Structure 1
Amino acid sequence: MMLGSILNPINSSIIAVALVPIAAAFGAPASETAWLVSSLYLATSIGQPLVGRLVDAFGPRRLFLVGAFLTLVAGVIGTVAPNIGVLIVARVVLGFGTCAGYPASMYLIRSESARTGIASPAGVLTALSVATQTIAVVGPTLGGLLIGMGGWRTTFTINIPLGLACIVLGVLVLPRHTALETGGAAAAPKRFRLDLVGILLFATTLVSLLLYLMDLEVTTLWLLGVTVLAAAGFAVRELRTADPFIDVRVFAGNLPLLVTYARGVVAATVSYSFLYGVTQWMEDGRGLSASATGLILLPVFATGILVSTLTGRRPEVRMKLVVGAVFQLVACALLLFVRADAAIWSLVVIGILFGIPQGLVNLAIQNTLFHQADPERIGASSGLLRTFMYLGAMLASSGGAAFFGDRATTGGLHELAVFMLIAAGILFVLTVADRTLKHVVPRR
C-alpha cells in the first residue's frame, strides 16, 4: 500500500529540481516548464475521484495494478521524450497512473477496520501519512542525486522499476476480495455505469480554471465564466444521475468535511509553493546545482518524518493544525527577507520550519477525513481530498509562473512569499474558527 501511495508524491516533488535543467535543455522559460507541474495535477485531479469511485465499485486490486502499469509506461515516455511537449504527455499519463495507490489504500484500511473491529487504526494511518505526504519532501533530494548521476531524464526513468515493483507486489499480495466487498461491492460491476457527462463537465471545470490561473489577464476572464458554468452544470448533473462520477452527496449535511477539503487546498498551496517555487529560486536565483538544492531540502524530509512519527499516535487534530499553520506563517514571513546571496544555513533553517507543518498538517487532515467521511464513500471521499490538495498544487504552480515569468528571481520569490502568507493565514483562520475539530478524536 505504501509503495503504491508514494508514486504520486514522489513524482510530484522529484520534478522540482528538474525544472531548471529541463528548461535549459529545451530553451523553455519558467512559465512553460510550469506545465510539467500543472499537467500532472490536472490529470490527477480528474483521475483521483474517478479512481476512488471505481475502487468503491470494483475493489482496490485491479485499479492498483492498472495504475502501476500506466506509471511504468509514463517512465518510458519521459525517458525518450524528444521535446517538452512529449514530456508534458508523460506527466499526464503519470498523473493518471499514480492516482490509484492512495484511494486503494484507504479502502483497504477501512476494510481491515471492518474485518477486525478496530475502529481507528492510528498506527497504519500514521505510516501511510509518512509514506504519502511527508516522504514527498525526499523527492527533490532523490531528484538531485539522480540528475547528478545521469541527467534530468533519470527523474522519469525511476518510474520504470517503481511501476514494475508495484505490479509484482500487487499481484502477489493484494487481496482479490475485501471485507467491504462481501455481499455488496462484489456485485457492483454488473450495475455500475460510468458517468461520461459528469467526467466531461468536471474536466472542463478544471481545465478552464487552470488555463485562467496560468494566464491571469482581463482577456482570459471568459475562462472563469466557463469554469463557473461547467461547475454548476456538473453539480446539477451529479445530483440527478444514479451513478455519479463524483457523488456530491458526500457534502450533504457535512459542512465539517467541506472545511477539511478547504484546509487541504490552502495547506497544499503553501507546501507546493515552497517545493516548486523556492526550489526553482535556489537553482536559478541563488545559482545552486540540482544536487546541492536536493541536499539542502533533505532536512525538510527528515523534520517531517520526525514530526509525523512523534505526533502520529496522538489523537488530537486541532492543535496539530494550529501549530502547523503558525509555523507556515513564520516560514513564509522569513522568505520575505531572503536575498540573492542568502547563506546556505539560513535556507536550511527555513526548510526545517516548513518541514514541521509538513509532518503535522497533512497527517491531521488525513485523520480528520477518516472520521468525518461516510464509511461507504471512503474511497470517493479520500480521492476528493487528493483532488482538493492538487488544486492547491495547481494554484502554487500558477503562482510560480505568474511571479517568476522567464526567470526565478529574488523579487519574484518575495511576491510568491506574500501569496503563501495569505494561504497560510486562511489555514489558520479555518482551523481556529472550526469548533467541530474538538470532537474529531479517534475512537478506541
Structure 2
Amino acid sequence: MTTDRRGLTRSELLLITAVALGTLLNPLNTTMISVALARLQDEFRLTFGEVSWLISTYYLASAIGQPIMGKWSDLFGRKRVFLLGLTLVTLASCLAPLSPSFGWLIGFRIIQAFGSSALFPSGMGMIRSQITAGQAKALGVLSIFSGTSAAFGPSLGGLLLHYGDWQLIFLCNFPFIAGSFLLAWKAFPRDTQKPGRLSGMDWPGVALFSATIFLWLLFFLSIAEGANAWTLAAAAGMSIWFYRYELGRRAPFIDVAFLRNNVNVTLIYAQFILTNIAFYSIMFGIPSYLQQVQHMDPQQTGLVMLSIAGFSVLVTPLVSRWIDRKGSKPSLVVGTLSTIAGSLLLLFIRDAAPVTVIFPVLCVLGFANGFNNLGMQTVLYDFVKKEETGIASGLFMTSRFIGTILSSSLLAALFGKAISTPQLHSMAWACAALGVFMLLLTLRLPAARPGLAKE
C-alpha cells in the first residue's frame, strides 16, 4: 500500500477522512444555528429565553448521547453504530426543515444530537483499533478539527441564511453525511464481534444522569425570573443520589470513582466546563446581538463572526509547536488571560458600534479559543494513564456539553426577553469572571507526572 510522508496508508487516510467528516457534524450544528436564532424568534414568535431551548436541549441530548453511543459502539460494533449515527442525522436533517411548530423542531434537533453523538466515540474507537503508527497524530488532528469546526458554524450559518432561510442549516449537512457514509462503508473494516445486548447498559445510571442534568438546566433557566429554591434542592439531591449510585456500580454510566481518584483530571474537567460556558456564551450571544441591536443581516453577522474562527485556526499550529516545546500550562495561561482581556474589551462596544471596533475584539476572543482549545485537549493526557485514555476522553466530551448547556442557561438569564447593549456588557463581565476562575485553575496545575501517556 502507498503511504504519505507521515507513514499513513491510503486506507488509513480514508478512514481518518470518514471519521473527520462525521465528527464535525455535532460541533458544526451546535453553532450554525446561532445566526438563525433571531430568524426563528420571528418565525415562531418566541422570546430569546424560549428559543434558547433549541440550544440547551441539543446539548442535553449530546451530553447523554455521547457516553450511551460510546457504550453501544463497544456492545454492537463501531461500524454499525457509526453508520446508525449518520442515518439518524440524515433523518433529522430531512424532517427538521418541515417542522410545523417549534416543538417539532426541538424534537428533530434532539434526534440529530443523538445521531451525531454516535460519531465521535465510535470513530475514535475505530481509529485507535485500526491505526497503530501515528495514532496520536491522527487523534490530535481529529480533536483539533472537531474543536475548530464549531468556530466556523456562525459564519457558515450566516451565509446560508443570506442565500436562503434557516432550513438550509439542516440541508447543508448532506454533503458531509454522504462523504462520511461512503468512506466509512468502504474504509471501516467489518465488525467482527457479535452484537451485544441492551441489558449491558447501566440504564438506571443513564436515567439518573439525565434527570440530574435536566434539573440543573431548569434551575439555571429559572434564574432570570428569580432562582427556584425547590429546583436547586432537587438538582443537588439528584446529584448526590447519582454519585452514590454510580460509585457502587461495576460498570457505571459515568465512572465517578475515576473522578474521585484523579483530582487533577477532575479539576481539568471543571476548567473545561468553564471554558465552554464562556466560549459558547459568546458564540451564541454575539450573533443575536449583532442582528438585533447592531442591525446586521445574517451574512454580515457571519462574516464578522469569522474573526473568531479565523484566529482560532491561525494560532492553532503555533500553539501546537509551543506546547511540544513548553508543555500545556503556558498555553493555557495565555488562553485564559486572553479570555479575560477579550471579554473586558466587549465593554467598549456601544449601540451602532462600527465593525472596526467589533471585529478586533472578536479576534482577541478567537485568539483565546485557539490557545484554550488545544491546551485543554493536551493537558488532560498529562495526567491520564494510557489504559485510562478511553474513559478520560469520554468524560472530557461530557464536560464540553455540560459547559454548553450552562452557556445557554446563562444567556437565557442575561438576555431574557430582549437583547441590548447593557445585557451584552453583563455577559462580558460574566465571561471575564469565568476567565479569572479558569486562570486560577491553570496556575494550580502541577507539572505532569512522569510515566503517563504522552504520545
Same fold (TM over 0.5): yes
Retained in 2: the 8 A contact 1:126–1:363? no
Task: Tell me the alpha carbon deviations over residues 10-39 of structure 1, each in whole angstroms, 9 at most, x when there is no partner.
Answer: 001101100001111111111111111101
After superposition, where does 1:174-193 map in structure 2 within 5 Å?
A: 174-176=188-190, 186=193, 189=196, 193=200
User: How many angstroms does 1:187 deviate by?
Assistant: 7.2
**Amino acid in structure 2 at the alignment position of 1:54:** W
The answer to whether structure 1 residue 34 and structure 2 residue 41 are counterparts is no
Which residue of structure 1 aligns with residue 404 of structure 2?
Answer: 393
Task: Tell me the alpha carbon deviations over residues 82-135 of structure 1, each in whole angstroms, 9 at most, x when there is no partner.
Answer: 12111111211111111122223432444356x34x6x72x3244213311112
In 2, the alpha carbon distance for the partners of 1:294 and 1:138 equals: 9
After superposition, where does 1:368-387 map in structure 2 within 5 Å?
A: 368-387=379-398
Structure 1's 215 and 335: CA in aligned 2 closer, same or farther, altered over 3 A? same
Retained in 2: the 8 A contact 1:17–1:144? yes
Task: Tell me the alpha carbon deviations over residues 27-68 of structure 1, each in whole angstroms, 9 at most, x when there is no partner.
Answer: 111111111110100100111122223334444322211111
After superposition, where does 1:284-295 map in structure 2 within 5 Å?
A: 284-295=292-303
Larger mean CA deviation between 168-177 and 291-300 belongs to 168-177
Retained in 2: the 8 A contact 1:10–1:139? yes
Q: Which gives a bigger RCO, structure 1 or 2 (Cα 8 Å, sep 6+)?
A: 1
The answer to whether structure 1 residue 407 and structure 2 residue 418 are counterparts is yes
Unaligned 5+ runs, structure 2 = 1-18
Which residue of structure 1 aligns with residue 87 of structure 2?
Answer: 69
Larger mean CA deviation between 93-102 and 322-331 belongs to 93-102
Structure 1's 394 and 443: CA in aligned 2 closer, same or farther, altered over 3 A? closer
User: How many angstroms does 1:162 deviate by?
Assistant: 2.9
Over the aligned positions, Cα root-mean-square deviation in angstroms equals 2.3
Which residue of structure 2 aligns with residue 148 of structure 1?
Answer: 162
Which residue of structure 2 aligns with residue 346 of structure 1?
Answer: 357
Which residue of structure 1 aligns with residue 213 of structure 2?
Answer: 206
Larger mean CA deviation between 50-59 and 225-234 belongs to 50-59
Which residue of structure 2 aligns with residue 6 of structure 1?
Answer: 24
Which residue of structure 2 aligns with residue 240 of structure 1?
Answer: 248
Unaligned 5+ runs, structure 1 = none
Structure 1's 440 and 408: CA in aligned 2 closer, same or farther, altered over 3 A? farther
Which residue of structure 1 aligns with residue 441 of structure 2?
Answer: 430
Which residue of structure 1 aligns with residue 336 of structure 2?
Answer: 325
In 2, the alpha carbon distance for the partners of 1:79 and 1:402 equals: 28
Task: Tell me the alpha carbon deviations over residues 358-384 of structure 1, each in whole angstroms, 9 at most, x when there is no partner.
Answer: 212111222233443454453343222
Which residue of structure 1 aligns with residue 184 of structure 2?
Answer: 170
Retained in 2: the 8 A contact 1:104–1:379? no
User: How many angstroms does 1:262 deviate by?
Assistant: 0.7
**Amino acid in structure 1 at the alignment position of 2:153:** G
**Amino acid in structure 2 at the alignment position of 1:237:** Y
**Aligned-partner SS, 2:376:** helix
Q: Which runs of 4+ in 1 moved over 6 A?
A: 438-442
User: How many angstroms does 1:240 deviate by?
Assistant: 2.1
Structure 1's 54 and 366: CA in aligned 2 closer, same or farther, altered over 3 A? farther
Task: Tell me the alpha carbon deviations over residues 269-313 of structure 1, each in whole angstroms, 9 at most, x when there is no partner.
Answer: 111011001111111111111110001111221211111122224
Retained in 1: the 8 A contact 2:384–2:452? no
**Amino acid in structure 1 at the alignment position of 2:397:** R
Which residue of structure 2 aligns with residue 194 of structure 1?
Answer: 201
Structure 1's 175 and 357: CA in aligned 2 closer, same or farther, altered over 3 A? farther
The answer to whether structure 1 residue 250 and structure 2 residue 258 are counterparts is yes
**Amino acid in structure 1 at the alignment position of 2:217:** L
Structure 1's 430 and 439: CA in aligned 2 closer, same or farther, altered over 3 A? farther
In 2, the alpha carbon distance for the partners of 1:291 and 1:136 equals: 17
Task: Tell me the alpha carbon deviations over residues 204-234 of structure 1, each in whole angstroms, 9 at most, x when there is no partner.
Answer: 0011111111111556221222212222222
Retained in 1: the 8 A contact 2:27–2:149? yes
Structure 1's 360 and 34: CA in aligned 2 closer, same or farther, altered over 3 A? same
**Aligned-partner SS, 2:238:** helix
The answer to whether structure 1 residue 127 and structure 2 residue 141 are counterparts is yes
Larger mean CA deviation between 195-204 and 53-62 belongs to 53-62
In 1, the alpha carbon distance for the partners of 2:375 and 2:125 equals: 18
**Amino acid in structure 1 at the alignment position of 2:89:** T
Structure 1's 437 and 330: CA in aligned 2 closer, same or farther, altered over 3 A? farther
Number of residues paired by the alignment? Answer: 433
In 1, the alpha carbon distance for the partners of 2:199 and 2:381 equals: 25
Structure 1's 191 and 87: CA in aligned 2 closer, same or farther, altered over 3 A? closer
Which residue of structure 2 aligns with residue 101 of structure 1?
Answer: 119
In 1, the alpha carbon distance for the partners of 2:217 and 2:389 equals: 27
Retained in 1: the 8 A contact 2:26–2:117? yes
The answer to whether structure 1 residue 337 and structure 2 residue 348 are counterparts is yes
In 1, the alpha carbon distance for the partners of 2:331 and 2:209 equals: 33
User: How many angstroms does 1:439 deviate by?
Assistant: 6.2
Match of 1:19 among 32, 37, 42: 37
**Aligned-partner SS, 1:383:** helix
Retained in 1: the 8 A contact 2:39–2:166? yes
In 1, the alpha carbon distance for the partners of 2:336 and 2:152 equals: 22
Match of 1:229 among 219, 225, 237: 237
**Amino acid in structure 2 at the alignment position of 1:368:** V
Retained in 2: the 8 A contact 1:56–1:379? no
Task: Tell me the alpha carbon deviations over residues 231-284 of structure 1, each in whole angstroms, 9 at most, x when there is no partner.
Answer: 222222222233222222322421111011111101101110110011111111
In 2, the alpha carbon distance for the partners of 1:175 and 1:329 equals: 46
Structure 1's 109 and 379: CA in aligned 2 closer, same or farther, altered over 3 A? same
Retained in 1: the 8 A contact 2:294–2:351? yes
- Overall identity of the aligned pairs, in %: 31
In 1, the alpha carbon distance for the partners of 2:21 and 2:103 equals: 29
Task: Tell me the alpha carbon deviations over residues 126-165 of structure 1, each in whole angstroms, 9 at most, x when there is no partner.
Answer: 4213311112111111111111111111112223343333
Structure 1's 8 and 290: CA in aligned 2 closer, same or farther, altered over 3 A? same
**Aligned-partner SS, 1:133:** helix
TM-score, structure 2 as length reference: 0.89
Retained in 2: the 8 A contact 1:64–1:104? yes
**Aligned-partner SS, 1:189:** coil
User: How many angstroms does 1:343 deviate by?
Assistant: 1.2
In 1, the alpha carbon distance for the partners of 2:46 and 2:405 equals: 19
Retained in 2: the 8 A contact 1:56–1:380? no
Task: Tell me the alpha carbon deviations over residues 366-421 of structure 1, each in whole angstroms, 9 at most, x when there is no partner.
Answer: 22334434544533432221221111112211111111122211111011111111
